[in-house]
């Protein structure tokens, strides 16, 4: 029995530590210049209608085939690639963005600040552990389970209230921005159809509407229809040019994310539209068929010879097919015509380095320095810039570039070591030395926090330190 009690106590404490400290699941962020530009443009009027600054709000695309979007604190809206794939038009995506901005403006919590959900759960775990340690494992387990049920019930009610609030705020933002709410309703109907296909509807006796994190889709549609249809913006048509941009992004995303066989089935070679060429170019490139990918890209260039995103794709295909020198012409044109857009400029800098021609290093350094100055979250650009410095023999700035990249990727150990190496070689007090010092201090603090977290976990588990 003592062994059983120790095990039960350990289990309760382990559950408590896991509940309190589990990080959000890491997901792959998709970065693309054309996509980011389109998302910024379709969300800008909604952001302004919400009373926020477009300079501070970001809409980020995540590679996940589920139909979902979320916020996780701060002023960032995350969209799943599956949502873009399944949307019928850009207005549906705007409706989703408006809803998520409702969460941002409302300061809604995700999981950690939920009005008491965590405190109830933690209290039940502590009481349960105490009962088990006192020799009543059955009573302790009952306390823990009861506390969890109470916490879950409270959280679900809290979550539904937040979702309803975000819905109402999203309606206000769309109406204020003069954007039709048709897309918002169409998207909720799409979710409702999915629920029906899985037998997930309110009249189903097996579905408890009070056990859901969101209000049922039918209820949401009913609650929002009058306010949306009563707005002068209800019959406002989406700018056709914006719709074209969305369809382009949707096609290239399908070609990049989906299995090539799926893309080629959706866009057969009999389809000679711009969107089909775009999707097939990415699908063939992903599948390792450079000639077919190049042919599809050539078709795009014939449609729009100066389109920077078509030129970017052409250069990327050439670069990754082993012809970096040939890639310079389209990538240079794409870079210049977009005013050195950081993601495109980074690919151009990569191509300049890949030629292995020392004469290209100065241009590569110039291009990449502009890229990292304008895009604060581009570790690949820092990697390429580090290669430039390495080939120039500038070991101090190789170390600084490595520290910058490690700092962006969360590798505190490498960032700390590299920043110290950079400081040892750079002139003390220079801008680069000060930047290296900043990274060193941040990384050192991060490592200390991680060490304290590990010690707390070991202490909670009763393990030797």
The 10s digit of each residue's pLDDT in 306-328 is 999 999 999 999 999 999 999 99
Q: Each residue of 266-281: pLDDT tens digit?
A: 999 999 999 999 999 9
Q: Each residue of 363-409: pLDDT tens digit?
A: 999 999 999 999 989 999 999 999 999 999 999 999 999 999 999 99
Q: Each residue of 14-69: pLDDT tens digit?
A: 444 443 333 334 579 999 999 999 999 999 999 999 999 999 999 999 999 988 88
HEC letters along the chain:
CHHHHHHHHHHHHHHHHHHHHCCCCCCCEECCHHHHHHHHHHHHHHHHHCCCCCCCCEEEEECCCCCCEEECCCCEEEEEHHHHHHCCCHHHHHHHHHHHHHHHHHCCCCCCCCCCHHHHHHHHHHHHHHHHHCCCHHHHHHHHHHHHHHHHHHHHHHHHHHHHHHHHHHHHHHHHHCCCCHHHHHHHHHHHHHHHHCCCCCCCCCCCHHHCCCCCHHHHHHHHHHHHHCCCCCCCCCCHHHHHHHHHHHHHHHHHHCCHHHHHHHCCCCCCCHHHHHHHHHHHHHHCCHHHHHHHHHHHHHHCCCCHHHHHHHHHHHHHCCCHHHHHHHHHHHHHHCCCCHHHHHHHHHHHHHCCCHHHHHHHHHHHHHHHHHCCCCHHHHHHHHHHHHHHCCHHHHHHHHHHHHHHHCCHHHHHHHHHHHHHHCCCCCHHHHHHHHHHHHHHHHHHHHHHHHHHHHHHHCCCC
Work out how many domains the chain is built from and give that number.
Answer: 1
Q: Is residue 280 part of a domain?
A: no
* The pLDDT value given to residue 113: 39
- The angle that helices 290-303 and 274-287 make with each other, rounded to 10 degrees, is 160
CB 382 within 8 A of CB 405: yes
Q: Is residue 386 part of a domain?
A: no
* The pLDDT value given to residue 146: 55
The rounded distance, in Å, linking the Cα atoms of 387 and 385 is 5
Of the candidate ranges 29-38, 135-144, 196-205, 331-340, the one whose mean pLDDT is the lowest: 196-205
Q: Is residue 340 part of a domain?
A: no
* The pLDDT value given to residue 126: 45
Q: Is residue 104 part of a domain?
A: yes
Q: What is the mean pLDDT of residues 248-269?
A: 95
Is pLDDT at 236 greater than 80 in this prediction? yes
Q: Is residue 115 part of a domain?
A: yes
Look at 110 and 316; give whichever has higher pLDDT. Answer: 316
% of the chain exceeding 90 in pLDDT: 63
37: Cβ–Cβ under 8 A, 6 or more apart, which residues? none
* The pLDDT value given to residue 344: 98
Q: Is residue 313 part of a domain?
A: no
Q: Is residue 119 part of a domain?
A: yes
Is pLDDT at 155 greater than 60 in this prediction? no
Average pLDDT of the chain is: 82
261: Cβ–Cβ under 8 A, 6 or more apart, which residues? none
* The pLDDT value given to residue 138: 58
Which residues span the domain enclosing 148? 2-229
Which of 11, 6, 14, 7 minimizes the C-alpha distance to 458?
14
pTM: 0.79
Is pLDDT at 425 greater than 90 in this prediction? yes
* The pLDDT value given to residue 143: 45
* The pLDDT value given to residue 458: 74
Q: Is residue 59 part of a domain?
A: yes
* The pLDDT value given to residue 441: 96
CB 62 within 8 A of CB 27: yes
Is pLDDT at 78 greater than 90 in this prediction? yes
Look at 117 and 253; give whichever has higher pLDDT. Answer: 253
* The pLDDT value given to residue 204: 47
* The pLDDT value given to residue 164: 78
Is pLDDT at 189 greater than 50 in this prediction? yes
* The pLDDT value given to residue 165: 83
Is pLDDT at 227 greater than 90 in this prediction? no
pLDDT band at 214; cut points 50, 70, 90 = very low
């Amino acid at each position: 029995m003592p062994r059983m009690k120790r095990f039960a106590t350990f289990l309760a404490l382990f559950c408590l530590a896991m509940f309190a400290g589990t990080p959000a699941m890491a997901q792959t962020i998709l970065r693309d210049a054309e996509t980011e530009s389109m998302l910024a443009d379709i969300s800008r009027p909604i952001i302004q209608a919400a009373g926020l600054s477009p300079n501070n709000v970001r809409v980020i695309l995540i590679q996940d085939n589920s139909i979902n979007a979320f916020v996780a604190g701060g002023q960032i809206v995350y969209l799943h690639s599956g949502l873009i794939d399944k949307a019928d038009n850009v207005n549906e995506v705007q409706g989703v963005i408006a809803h998520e901005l409702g969460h941002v403006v409302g300061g809604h919590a995700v999981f950690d600040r939920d009005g008491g959900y965590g405190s109830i759960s933690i209290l039940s775990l502590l009481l349960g552990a105490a009962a088990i340690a006192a020799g009543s494992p059955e009573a302790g387990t009952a306390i823990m389970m009861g506390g969890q049920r109470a916490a879950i019930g409270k959280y679900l009610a809290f979550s539904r209230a937040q979702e309803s609030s975000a819905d109402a705020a999203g309606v206000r933002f769309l109406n204020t921005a003069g954007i039709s709410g048709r897309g918002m309703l169409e998207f909720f109907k799409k979710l409702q159809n999915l629920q029906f296909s899985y037998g997930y509807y309110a009249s189903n006796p097996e579905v408890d509407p009070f056990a859901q994190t969101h209000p049922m889709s039918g209820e949401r549609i009913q609650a929002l229809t009058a306010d949306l249809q009563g707005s002068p913006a209800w019959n406002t048509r989406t700018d056709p040019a914006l719709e074209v941009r969305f369809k382009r992004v949707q096609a290239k995303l399908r070609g990049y994310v989906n299995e090539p066989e799926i893309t080629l089935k959706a866009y057969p070679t009999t389809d000679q539209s711009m969107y089909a060429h775009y999707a097939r170019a990415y699908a063939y490139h992903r599948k390792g068929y450079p000639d077919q990918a190049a042919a599809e890209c050539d078709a795009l260039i014939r449609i729009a010879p100066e389109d920077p995103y078509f030129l970017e794709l052409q250069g990327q295909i050439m670069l990754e097919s082993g012809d970096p020198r040939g890639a310079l012409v389209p990538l240079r044109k794409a870079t210049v015509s977009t005013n050195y857009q950081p993601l495109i400029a980074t690919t151009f800098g990569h191509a300049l380095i890949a030629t292995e021609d020392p004469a290209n290093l100065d241009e590569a350094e110039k291009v990449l320095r502009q890229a990292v100055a304008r895009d604060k979250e581009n570790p690949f650009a820092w990697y390429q810039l580090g290669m430039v410095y390495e080939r120039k023999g500038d070991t101090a700035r190789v170390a600084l570039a490595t520290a910058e990249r490690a700092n962006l990727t969360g590798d505190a150990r490498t960032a700390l070591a590299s920043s110290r190496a950079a400081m040892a070689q750079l002139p003390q007090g220079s801008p680069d030395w000060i930047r290296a010092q900043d990274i060193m201090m941040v990384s050192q603090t991060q490592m200390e926090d991680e060490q304290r977290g590990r010690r707390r976990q070991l202490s909670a588990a009763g393990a030797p330190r």
